[in-house]
Structure 1
């Protein structure tokens, strides 16, 4: 059997590295959600999204977001990555949900790409009066994140929101909200 030419072997090596990178990224996305059952992940994402989108401008201000009253509608993407107590399997067992989020404002004249947005990790406690905690930006931010999240979730708290289904859905909802005006 003849060896393929050096140029073809180089191309095959590059292709193998690209495929491995894509597979690794996909595996990482799956592993990120491995701690949460899929239905719990979806329910927590939906609940936190509604909580953030229905918050008043004052409530947003209390958890670090500064939206003006005439800013338009708030559209959020939420990606839960952990809960307390650890191992909770049902939303009724969850005391705290830890998630990455991104919220955009449909303000006048903006589109998705130019909209005012806020993003980062947050912790939410459900209950009669839900509590949203967002580490304030500025000097000392990494320490404030570490104080807010359990040590087992520090890497996830500093990770970026995946450019996946949660953001795709938020973009679609943003465009629908803009068209409805």
Structure 2
């Protein structure tokens, strides 16, 4: 008598999991990261956009003390004319024994105005600036010409007013009295646009220093 046959094990093939590409999971993770990155980028960009809207002069460029370039340049052109014809500059270093004709040339770099919220030249009553003036007879080299430099306050009224520190009194005290406190750092600083000094020097050399001595 034969022993009963042992049951045959179930050897039917089981479905194997579908092969997964090595790049599928990272790609899915990268796709899920995009919304997060977009939210972060928008959060960073919105404050910057708001600043540009609130301060449009940052787009177009600003000059000394935050003055827009267009206002700064227009004020400088008007104030230079007043400065070059002012008695304080015209008579500076004048030698009565050598009273020949002299040329006065100035440049000016505004850093503030009064009222401080003025946006047009017509609204400005006072201009606060650093100035450089050079005074000399024809043929006088730049290094030997009389010069005036430092902070100045120029009133744009009629008649105009020019206020400069005078040599007889303490310089820093005079500047603090002459220039509003909000502009003190610029008043004791240097030209924010040094090219103005270079341009004045070139103009003086071409028109005065190089002119034949009379």
Same fold (TM > 0.5): yes
Residue deviations 1:12-57, cap 9 Å, x none? xxxxxxxxxxxxxxxxxx87625211011001111111112233xx
Quick check: 1:72–1:108 contact (8 Å CA) kept in 2? yes
Task: Please identify the structure whose Cα radius of gyration is greater.
Answer: 2
Aligned residue among 83, 92, 102 for 1:65: 92
Q: Report the Cα offset of residue 165 of structure 1.
A: 2.0
Q: Does 1:43 align with 2:74?
A: yes
Q: Report the Cα offset of residue 77 of structure 1.
A: 1.4
- Which 4+ residue blocks in structure 1 deviate beyond 4 angstroms? none
Could you list the runs of 5+ residues in structure 1 that have no partner in the other structure?
A: 1-29
Give matches, 1:63-142, under 5 Å: 65-68=92-95, 69-70=99-100, 72-142=102-172
Are residues 61 and 70 of structure 1, via their aligned partners in 2, closer, same or farther at CA, if it must alter by over 3 Å?
same
Are residues 177 and 109 of structure 1, via their aligned partners in 2, closer, same or farther at CA, if it must alter by over 3 Å?
closer
Q: Report the Cα offset of residue 172 of structure 1.
A: 2.0
- Name the CA distance, whole Å, in 1 between partners of 2:108 and 2:189: 13
Deviates more, 1:89-98 or 1:134-143: 134-143
Quick check: 1:103–1:118 contact (8 Å CA) kept in 2? yes
Deviates more, 1:121-130 or 1:161-170: 161-170
Q: Which residue of 1 aligns with 2:176?
A: 146
Q: Does 1:156 align with 2:186?
A: yes
Q: Report the Cα offset of residue 71 of structure 1.
A: 5.4
Are residues 122 and 173 of structure 1, via their aligned partners in 2, closer, same or farther at CA, if it must alter by over 3 Å?
same
- Name the CA distance, whole Å, in 2 between partners of 1:130 and 1:50: 10
Quick check: 1:73–1:107 contact (8 Å CA) kept in 2? yes
Q: Which residue of 1 aligns with 2:50?
A: none
Q: Report the Cα offset of residue 73 of structure 1.
A: 0.3
Q: Does 1:167 align with 2:197?
A: yes
- Count of paired positions: 148
TM-score (norm 1): 0.72
- Name the CA distance, whole Å, in 2 between partners of 1:35 and 1:71: 39
- Name the CA distance, whole Å, in 2 between partners of 1:70 and 1:161: 31
RMSD (Å), alpha carbons: 2.4
